[in-house]
Amino acid sequence: MSATVVDISPRGDRVSCVLAGDFVVPRLVRREGRSVEVALVAGRAMLLPGDAVRIEISVGEGCTLSLVDIGGLVVYGRAGETGEPSHWHARADLADGARLRWQGLPTVITDAGHLRRSLTVRLAAGSSATLHETLVLGRSGERGGRVTAQTDAADAVGPILRDTLEVSGAEPVPGVLGTDRIVDSILTLGDQTHVPEVPGAVRLDFERGGVMLRYLGDALHESPLRGAGIGAVVHERQPAAVR
């Protein structure tokens, strides 16, 4: 499966955009100075067993990219069959002073669904990323299928976060999700953001360069991280000048 490519690079005081993809299609929404907004649109029904999505993101020096998902993701399977898992893998590389904001919509894993999902983020000096990710085990009335979700974030100094969540709605594990079926997370990386306390969400401050807010529950509308999106929770500081 060909990759979806979102490549933003500086051109004078503006930006050059390379957008490509057929499974997930990137569409330019807005371009102003060195700031770009791109929508990710599904090119077909997904995800079916064996489907593989690969998203490659590059944000150039001093550029800002806002990504918005259009329509959530549903992971399907075939009842009574083990079948192939579905794959969703994204990698984001940020140059000096670059910024990435990704407002994701929920990914729902149906009873028969099996998802392997990963996110890799690499930051350069002065760059930052803020990402909102939501995993939902099952549609209404379902317990949900299987999911393995991995996050790997690092900068020039070394690793910032390595996180793996492996769960099955049919086999709840005490101390992981238990009976909860919603994992709603906001991840910030870099020193260019301010993240206040959010009542009802667990907060994890990394040793350096980042914060994770996470809500576990049974109803998405009860998450304190919803509402107006990441802009209502995370406040950006003024970026340092890029030399």
Question: Per residue in 31-79, pLDDT tens?
Answer: 999 999 999 998 888 899 999 999 999 999 999 999 999 988 999 998 7
Give 241's pLDDT tier (boundaries 50, 70, 90): very low
Q: What is the chain's mean pLDDT, rounded?
A: 90
pLDDT of residue 243: 41
pLDDT over 60 (residue 238) = no
Which of 99-108, 170-179, 181-190, 213-222 has the lowest average pLDDT? 170-179
Q: Which residues pair with 126 in a beta bridge?
A: none
Contact 98/60 with Cβ under 8 angstroms? yes
pLDDT of residue 80: 67
Q: Provide φ and ψ at 221, rounded to 5°.
A: -65, -15
Locus of tokens 């020039």: 156
Q: What percent of the chain has pLDDT over 90?
A: 71
pLDDT of residue 194: 82
Q: Which two tokens stand for residue 240?
A: 């340092």
In 3D space, the residue among 235, 237, 239, 213 whose CA is nearest the CA of residue 224 turns out to be 213
For 15-28, the DSSP string reads EEEEEE-SSEEEEE
Number of helical (H) and strand (E) elements in the chain, helices listed first: 0, 19
pLDDT over 50 (residue 240) = no
Is the bond preceding residue 47 a cis peptide, omega within 30 degrees? yes
Over residues 1-25, the mean pLDDT reads 92
